[in-house]
Amino acid sequence: MGRFVLPDSALPLVAARFKALSEPARLALLSTLQHGEQTVNELVVGTGLGQANVSKHLQVLHAQGFVKRRKNGLFVHYMLSDRHLMKLCEAMLLRVNENVSSHGVGRGQTPTGRRDDSDEVG
């Protein structure tokens, strides 16, 4: 495999994207959106987060290009904008699970994740 070089000019952009993904609530929203397009109210029910919290996190995810939105009357529907994003999350989860398995389950570390037939986006 060739060596990938991350240009200095891209570092702030990549860091901003990873920062957006560093919030568990945002990851919960992305995970919920894997099941298809949803409104803010549906995301509130699906994640258990408050409406203001969901809206705030969706703004961040939209600004980083992780989600798209579509207005339909009074409702705004959100959807994942790129299937590769969830592949990135899956790759990280695999690494976390490998680390937990090889080092034993430590404080705050729980092997998790499931793979189902609904991992494809749009």
How many other C-beta atoms can be found within 10 angstroms of the C-beta atom of residue 39? 16
Q: Considering the chain, what percentage of its residues have pLDDT values greater than 70?
A: 83
d(CA 20, CA 73): 29
> What number of residues does the chain have?
122
Query: For residue 110, what pLDDT band results from cuts at 50, 70 and 90?
Result: low
Could you read off the pLDDT of 18-38 as tens digits, one per residue? 999 999 999 999 999 999 999
Can you give the pLDDT at residue 106? 53
* Alpha helices by DSSP H, 1-122: 11-21, 24-33, 40-47, 51-63, 83-103
pTM: 0.78
Q: Are 80 and 34 in contact (CB under 8 A)?
A: yes
Q: List the domain boundaries for the chain.
A: 8-82
Q: Which residues of 85-107 are buried (b: 16+ CB within 10 A; e: fewer)?
A: bbeebeeebeeeeeeeeeeeeee
With a cut of 90, say whether residue 51 has pLDDT above it.
yes
Amino acid at 118: S
Q: Which of 23-27, 70-74, 100-104, 111-115 has the lowest mean pLDDT?
A: 111-115
Q: Are 44 and 54 in contact (CB under 8 A)?
A: yes
CATH number of the 8-82 domain: 1.10.10.10
